[in-house]
Chains A and B, each alone.
Chain A
């Protein structure tokens, strides 16, 4: 009897514990929760803007709690080949960050993150293609990248709003906008030939400069030597002129004597010793050679 009662009480106690545990649930700061009663949504806890994480109560057994991540979540798209306005193909890799803002709508439209990924994939794809197809590839790569990202984000946001997915798009970023591998190889070739040209230009210019320097130096050297030669000739001329003047000044005192004197010097210098000289006996030198009086 007592045993029966105690067993009964234990059963009741355990039952109460189960009921209690079924009627309480914890919503983490990182989560929001949706309460379903027989599949019907009856309440939302700690959704965006409602800061009420913590311990909550619900009707036991009949209601069910579904948790959603409230944080900033990344959605990564696979790289896609997309044609820009100038028909150039680009490999675009983008990612998106979103947050589940309305757990009820989220649950109704996509049920879970798996579901939203599928939707986002096609939305992102559409938006990227739409935006990129309208601008030249150059702008995708460079200049207006942030503007481009803003436009993609707007496009994604408007589609998300239209489809009412219960999420907020925080940011869309283009991770890469690259040329496909075949075109990249072309870019490498172009880069190579550009550099080769540059190198050849630098070398040619170096040679040119070197030649200019050499030529200038050679010219200067020639001029220096030529000027020196001119100076030398002037100096020599000066010397010669001076010599002539000195001679003239001296010899002009008696031209006849000069002729005689100079002839004497010349004979002495010109006729070497041992030179055979044929002289007639009646020459002036032999004036007295045979005749005392010297008359011929």
Chain B
């Protein structure tokens, strides 16, 4: 019977004390504290607790009476007693240590604890150590709300990256969306939307296609990239707000926005054509820079030469004239003598240097002129 006694007493004791413990020490007490802290405990909690306790008492009361009747009955099997003792020890362990242990949880700095009582959202808990009613009464989910999440679209999947523009061209686009949980609407994020990642990704692609579909190809791949990102972000945010998704789109980055692979050569050729044109223009400018100074130099030379000619001709003429005037003035003093002298002096110089042949006109016969000898004489004379 001691076993039975123990079992009975133990059964009554531990269950009772367990119940008491549950009731008075751990969860409710702590919950009371937590409730006080949170200040948002619903008023019907006690009623709920009461119901629970009634339920428990119903079960454990049965156990207790079972124990007492077991006491009175006696003669129960030892094995059953040991088994029961182990069961009870486990139950005590669970009731005293593990179950209340469920009440403490830690929220990481990047997270927020969303506490649900029987699935009903009751409060959010800040980062740090927090208390709640043990499972299964209260459960907590801790979504990461501060970290930025990134979704890449069009990076690997070609079909995703080709988009039709308003002018019916196709543009190849890859972009990245950075988003995070909207801290003002964490409950929306947790409860309102299925597959938030998927939703962001689909809305992103749809929004980008909408924006690209209203723009023309050339701006998209050149000047309007920032605008495309900005408008996509805006459309995404509006759509997700409409979904009450609790998602905040931080940024849309266009990583690639270019002509599709199969036509990119033609597009690059346009760039190189622009470079060719620029090069042709530069060559022409170089030509200008060569030809014009050349011409100027040429012109300067022509002018200088002509000026030189003019000046030299004038100077020569002046010299000649001066010489003439000087001689004339001499001449004018004694014209006949001077004239005669000049004539004779000139003739002297001229004839003195020449091969003089004096022939009489009246000779009649044509004289034989040994021209070769004359030449020789002249040469010798030269020597």
A joins B in a complex: yes
* Given known A2-B69, A210-B281, contact A242–B310 (CB-CB < 8 A): yes
Contact A29 B116, beta carbon cutoff 8 Å: yes
Q: Output the residue of B169, B260, B284, B355 with the most chain A CB within 10 A.
A: B284
Contact A220 B164, beta carbon cutoff 8 Å: no
B381 within 8 A of A: yes
- CB-nearest residue of chain B relative to A279? B358
B311 proximity list for chain A (CB < 8 A): 239
User: When the two chains form the complex, which single residue of B58, B193, B306, B357 contacts A235, counting CB atoms closer than 8 Å?
Assistant: B306
A141 proximity list for chain B (CB < 8 A): 164, 166, 168, 213
Q: List 14 A-B contacts (CB under 8 A).
A: A20-B55, A29-B191, A71-B192, A95-B202, A141-B213, A187-B169, A188-B170, A195-B266, A196-B269, A207-B277, A232-B306, A264-B342, A275-B355, A278-B357
A196 proximity list for chain B (CB < 8 A): 266, 269
A161 within 8 A of B: no
What per-residue 1/0 map shows which CB atoms of A237-258 lie under 8 Å from chain B?
A: 0111011101101110110011
Mark A residues whose CB is within 8 Å of B. 1-3, 5-6, 9-10, 12-13, 16-17, 20, 26-31, 52-55, 69-74, 76, 95, 97, 138, 141-143, 145-146, 170-171, 173-179, 184, 187-188, 191-192, 195-196, 198-200, 202-203, 205-207, 209-214, 216-218, 220-222, 224-225, 227-229, 231-236, 238-240, 242-244, 246-247, 249-251, 253-254, 257-258, 260-261, 264, 267-268, 271-282, 285-286
B13 within 8 A of A: no
What per-residue 1/0 map shows which CB atoms of B336-363 lie under 8 Å from chain A?
A: 0001001110110111011111111100
A238 proximity list for chain B (CB < 8 A): 310
B256 within 8 A of A: no
- CB-nearest residue of chain A relative to B42? A54
* Given known A173-B239, A242-B317, contact A232–B202 (CB-CB < 8 A): no
Contact B295 A224, beta carbon cutoff 8 Å: yes
B142 within 8 A of A: no
Count of interface residues, chain B, beta-carbon cutoff 8 Å: 128
B174 within 8 A of A: no
The CA-CA distance from A236 to B304 in the complex, in Å, is 11
User: When the two chains form the complex, which single residue of A170, A175, A254 contacts B328, counting CB atoms closer than 8 Å?
Assistant: A254
Additional pairs, 17, CB under 8 Å, beyond known A2-B72, A199-B273: A27-B119, A29-B119, A29-B190, A55-B118, A72-B243, A143-B214, A175-B205, A199-B266, A210-B280, A220-B291, A221-B291, A224-B299, A228-B300, A228-B303, A238-B310, A244-B317, A275-B354
